[in-house]
Structure 1
Amino acid sequence: MPDAMQLIMRTTQKATETAVVTKDGLLEFYQESQDTESLVGAIFLGRVERVLPDIKAAFVRIGLAQNGFLPINESESFHLNAETKPLMSGQDILVQVKKNPKGGKGAFLTRDIALPGQYSLLMPNNRFIGLSKRIEDEQERDAAKRLGKQIADNRFGLIVRHAALFAQHQAVADEAQELWERWQELKQRSEYLKAPMLLQQEPSMLSVLIRDYAARYDIEVLSVAANPSDAPLPWQTLSQSDMEAAWSGKRIDKQLAGAIGRRVELKAGGSLVIDEREALSTIDINSGSNVQVSGDDDLPLAQNLMAIPEMARQIRLRNLSGIILIDFIDMRTDEQREQVLAAMHEALAEDRVKTVVHGFTNLGLLEMTRKRTRDTLRGMMTVPCKACNENGRVLIS
C-alpha cells in the first residue's frame, strides 16, 4: 500500500505556501509570492532582438522587463527542424524559460522545449529516448526504453519517468499523445500570433506536486480553496481558522525554524551540523551515546546509517543544491562505506530534484551534487544581517 502524503496549502497576504508532509514530517516547502510567479517551464513566442556571435548567444524579447538570454548552441539535441539555421534579428522563435529573471538579468531560455507529464517528459524538437535515473534495475530500464521508443515512434523525444513503471502502458501512451497534440496546438497558435506572447504557463506548484507524487503516494490535499479540477483524490476545503489549526498541528512553522538552524538533533542520539555556503554545503555527523550495537567496530556504521534518513529529509527540506560534502563518522572498511553509499542512494531515490551521489573522496568525505532549481529554504526565509556586516542572517518579518 502506498505511503500517505498530505499537501497543505495556505495563503497569506504575501504568498501561497505549500507544505509536503509525510509520516516522517515536513518533507518539502514551497513559497509562491503573490507579486512574482515563477516562469520556469513557461513557453513564449519570442522575437530575436540581438545576436551575439562572439559568445554564441542571443537576446530574445519575450514581453518581460529584461530580454531573455538564449545560448545558441545550448542543445546539440535540437535538430529535427530547420531551426538550426543561424538566428536573425527580428526572427520569431518558440522558447522555454529554464531559469527565472534575477538580479537585473533576464530569463535564461532554451529552444529545446520539454512538456512534462506524470509518466514522461516529451521533447518535440528531438528524438532522444531517455530514462529517469530513478529507474535502476536493468530489466526495468530495458522495458522502459522499449516502451519509450514504441510510443515516440520516431516523432519526438521522450524521457520515461519512474512513475511509468506503476502505470498501464496504454495510460503512458495516452498521456504522451496528449502532450504531442498540445505541442501541435501551440505551434499552430504561434503562426498567427504576434511576438512577444506567452503561450503556456507552467502549472501551479500544487498541480506539479500532485502530478509527480500521485503514482507513489496516497495524496490528500488540505486547502482554503475548493478543488479546482476533477482530480480523483481526497481534497479538504478548510476555513482559514481550521487551516491555521492544521498548519499548527503538523508543527510546520516549528520544523521550518529548525531547518534554518545549523544543528539537527537525531532521535537515536547524535546530531547533524549543516552549513550552507555560496560555493558548497557541508553536513557533519556527530556521534551519540544512545546507539546500541553488537560490537565496537559496528558502532560508527550503525550511527551513520541511522543518520541517513534524516539527512536526506533535511537536504530536500532545505533545498540544498550544488556541491554537498558529507563528513560521516570514520568507518574502517570499504564494505562499510559501500553500505553507506547504498543507503544514501535509497534515501535520495524519492527526491524530485536531480541528485547524484559521486562517492567518497580521498579525504573520506561523501561527495554529491543536487541540481539548483529554486532558492534554498534559508535564502527564502532569511536575509543577510546588516548589523553584523552580513556575516549572519535574520528572519524575514
Structure 2
Amino acid sequence: MSEEILVNVTPMETRVALVENGVLQEVHIERTLRRGIVGNIYKGKVVRVLPGMQAAFVDIGLERAAFIHASEISNREGPAVEPISALVHEGQALVVQVTKDPIGTKGARLTTHLSVPSRFLVYMPKTPHVGISLKIEEEAERERLKQIVAHCVEQEAIAEPGGFILRTAAEAAREEDILVDIRYVRRLWQQISQQLNSAPSPSVIYEDLPLALRTLRDLTSARIEKVRVDSRETFQKVEQFVHELMPGCEDRLEHYPGERPIFDLYGVEDEIQKAMERKVILKSGGHLVIDQTEAMTTIDVNTGAFVGHRNLGETIFKTNLEAATAIARQLRLRNLGGIIIIDFIDMEDAEHQRQVLRTLEKQLERDHAKTNIIGITELGLVQMTRKRTRESLEQILCEPCPCCSGRGIQKTAESVCYEIFREILREARAYQAEAYMVLASQAVVDRLLDEESGNVADLEVFIERPIRFQVETMYTQEQYDVVPM
C-alpha cells in the first residue's frame, strides 16, 4: 500500500492530506490565527476549585479558563485519588499541558503529567516508567525495544526519574535512532525546565510544532513513500527538521513547484467538500447518513438503490461490509471523536454480524486516533468511541446556519403564513390601525398572494382593515414583521 503526505501552505493556513493508494484518508488544517494548542505546556494559575466535581479551572492566558480533573494532578490511580482541595488551591501556580483543544463552549482540558514527544517516543519527565504502544503486538519486538531504552538510559547515564513511551513508529527502529530521540527530548526538557523557574503565571512555556512538522513527526512511517510540499520556505524548514530528527528520510521529501494546486492534482479539494455533506454515497448504490451532534455522532447505513443479485440477506451483508470500510475512512477524514453510534442494516446471521464488526476493526487499525468498539446493543446498534483531541473538520470549516441555528430544518412557507395571520389578529385586538403591512421573504409573500389569498380576504373582512405585503429580500423564510400603518 502506497501512502503520500501532501502539504499545502498559504499565509493564512496550512493543510496536510494523507493519501493512501490515491484516496484521501485524513486531512489536517491549521489556521494561522487559530492554531491548536494540544501538547502546549503552560504555567497557569488556579482560579476556581470545584470540590463537588473533583476538578479545578485554571487560567492559562486563553479567553476561557481551562479544566483539570483531580486524577490529572494526583499520582495515584483509580478511586483512591485525593480530594481536589487537598491537591490545589485558588491562586496557586500550576504547570500544565493541554490534552484537548477548546471545542465549542468547552475550555481546554489539562494534565500535570507532562510529556514531550519526538518521532519514536514520548518523554515523561515525572513518570519513571517505560511503556510501549499497544499497536506493537509482537512480544519479541516489545522486549527488544525495552532493552534498547534501558541500554540508552545506561549509556547516557540518565539520573532523573523520567520515563519513556515508545510510539508505534518505533517498531523495527534501530538503537541509534532511538538514542537520537532520547537526546533530543531531554535537551528540549532542559530548556523547558529553565523557563519554568522564571516565567510568570499565566504564560506559555512550550508550544508544540507547527502542523507541517508535527505531521512529519506523527504520521511518517515506513509506508510513506513521498512527502510533497508546495511551499519553498516550508520545504526548507521540513528539510532541516528531517535532517536533525529523522535522518534517512530526506530522499522521501519533494518540493512541488507545479502551477496546478497540489490538492487539485490529487482530487483532495473535492473530497473535502464531500466531507461536509451528511450523505455519503457507496459504490454499491447504498449510502451513509452522518449526523454530528453535541453529545455524539450517529451514522445510519441504508441500502438505497442497491438490490443485489442474490437473496436479501446477502445484499444487506455486502452493503454493511462496504459501509464498514467507508465509515472507518469517514471517521478519519472528518476527524469525528467522542461517542459514535452506527446503525448498520439489521443482519439476522450472527456470522455476518461478526464479519462486519471484524472489517470495521481491521479498517480502524490504520487510524492514528485511539478507537474502541464496545459492541452491539440489543437494538443492533454498534457502539464505539474515538479519541477527540482536536476539532472535527466540520467544526474548523463550518459554523451553524444563521437561518436555522444548526437545526438543519426550517418552517415551511405555509407554517409561517399561519403565524403571520395569528400575529395580525393579536395586533388588531391590541392596537387601532388603519391597515397592516406584512414584511416577509419572497416565498412567504408568494404564498400569501396565491394559495392563501382566500384566507387573507377572510381575515381582512374579520378585522375590517386592509392587509398589504412587501418582499424583504434579506429575510430568511422564518423571518417576518407585521407593521401597523
Relative to the length of structure 1, the TM-score reads 0.83
Q: 1:299 to 1:119 in 2, by over 3 A?
A: same
Structure 1 distance, partners of 2:395, 2:146, is 39
Q: Mind listing any 5+ residue stretches in structure 2 that lack a counterpart?
A: 78-83, 155-159, 243-249, 410-485
1:125 aligns with 2:126: yes
2:207 pairs with 1:201: yes
Given that 1:78 and 1:125 are in contact with CA atoms closer than 8 Å, whether structure 2 keeps it comes out as no
Q: 1:76 to 1:346 in 2, by over 3 A?
A: farther
Matched, 1:185 2:184: no
Matches within 5 A, 1:67-82: 67-77=65-75
Distance 1:296 1:101, change over 3 A: closer
Counterpart of 1:10 in structure 2 is 9
1:108-161 deviation line (CA, Å, top 9, x unaligned):
322111112222222211134333342345555555556566666793233222
The Cα offsets for residues 338-387 of structure 1, whole Å up to 9 and x where unpaired, read as 22222111101111111111121222221111112222222222222222
Letter of the 1:43 counterpart: I
CA contact (8 A) 1:148 1:159 kept: no
Aligned length: 384
Whether contact under 8 Å (2:72, 2:110) holds in the other structure is: no
Amino acid at match of 1:250: Y
Is the contact between residue 15 and residue 33 of structure 1 (CA under 8 Å) also seen in structure 2? yes
2:228 equivalent in structure 1: 221
Structure with bigger helix share is: 2
Alignment of 1:149-160 (within 5 A): 155-160=161-166
Q: Distance in 2 between matches of 1:140 and 1:164?
A: 10
Q: Secondary structure at the match of 1:125?
A: coil
The reply on whether 1:235 has 2:254 as its aligned counterpart is yes
The match for 2:338 is 322
For 2:353 and 2:106, locate their aligned partners in 1 and report how far apart those are by CA, in whole Å.
43
The more displaced of 169-178 and 146-155 is 146-155
User: 2: CA distance between counterparts of 1:34 and 1:145?
Assistant: 39
Instruction: Look up the match of 1:42.
Output: 40
Answer whether contact 1:358 1:366 (CA < 8 A) is retained: yes
> Is residue 115 of structure 2 the alignment partner of residue 114 of structure 1?
yes
The correspondence of residues 347-386 of structure 1 with structure 2, limited to 5 A, is 347-386=363-402
Residue 13 of structure 2 aligns to which amino acid in structure 1?
Answer: A
Aligned-pair CA distance for 1:297: 5.1
The corresponding residue for 1:338 is: 354
Q: Distance in 2 between matches of 1:41 and 1:276?
A: 26
Q: 2: distance between equivalents of 1:78 and 1:184?
A: 26
The two structures, once aligned, show a CA RMSD in angstroms of 3.3
Counterpart CA distance in 2 for 1:387 and 1:217 is 44
Q: Is the 8 A contact 1:269 1:291 kept in 2?
A: no
Deviates more, 1:169-178 or 1:60-69: 60-69
Structure 1 stretch 268-277 or stretch 41-50: which is displaced more?
Answer: 41-50
Match for 1:375: what amino acid? E
- So what's the TM-score if we normalise by structure 2? 0.69
Are the counterparts in 2 of residues 26 and 255 from structure 1 also a CA contact under 8 Å? yes
Q: Within 1, Cα distance between the matches of 2:211 and 2:334?
A: 17
> Which has the higher mean CA deviation after the structures are superposed, 367-376 or 85-94?
85-94
Q: Structure 2 vs 1, CA of residues 330 and 147 (structure 1 numbering), >3 Å: closer, same or farther?
A: farther
Structure whose residues are more often strand by fraction: 1
Go from structure 1 to structure 2 and tell me whether the alpha carbon gap of 1:138 and 1:338 turns closer, same or farther (over 3 Å shift): farther
Task: Measure the CA separation in 2 of the matches of 1:377 and 1:283.
Answer: 16
Q: Distance in 1 between matches of 2:26 and 2:230?
A: 16
Which of 8, 11, 22 matches 2:20?
22
- Measure how far apart 1:222 and its partner are: 2.5
Question: Which deviates more from structure 2 when the two are superposed, residues 161-170 or residues 16-25?
Answer: 16-25
Post-superposition offset of 1:39: 1.6
Q: Verify the 8 A CA contact 1:32 1:38 in the aligned structure 2.
A: yes
Q: Secondary structure at the match of 1:358?
A: strand
Which string of whole-angstrom CA distances, capped at 9 and with x for unpartnered residues, describes residues 160-186 of structure 1? 222111312442243134213321332
1:36-73 CA-to-partner distances (Å, cap 9, x unmatched) read 22222111233445655565444444344455444344
Change (3 A) 1:332 1:32: same
Aligned 1:287-306 pairs, distance under 5 A: 287=303, 289=306, 298-306=314-322
Cα separation, partners in 2 of 1:290 and 1:220, compared to 1, 3 Å: farther
Q: Cα 1:193–1:238, aligned 2, differ >3 Å: closer, same or farther?
A: same
Q: Which amino acid aligns with 1:33?
A: R
Distance 1:64 1:264, change over 3 A: closer
Residue 375 of structure 2 aligns to a residue whose secondary structure is strand
Distance in structure 2 (CA, Å) of the matches to 1:52 and 1:161? 35
Residue 78 of structure 1, CA deviation? 7.1
Summarize the Cα distance change of 1:177–1:8 in structure 2 as closer, same or farther, 3 Å threshold.
closer
Q: How does 1:82-101 map to 2 (within 5 A)?
A: 86-87=87-88, 91-101=92-102
Out of 174, 177, 198, the residue aligned to residue 171 of structure 1 is: 177
CA contact (8 A) 1:8 1:20 kept: no
Please give the secondary structure, in 1, of the residue aligned with 2:170: helix
Which amino acid in structure 1 is aligned with residue 228 of structure 2? Answer: V
For 1:134, give the aligned amino acid: K
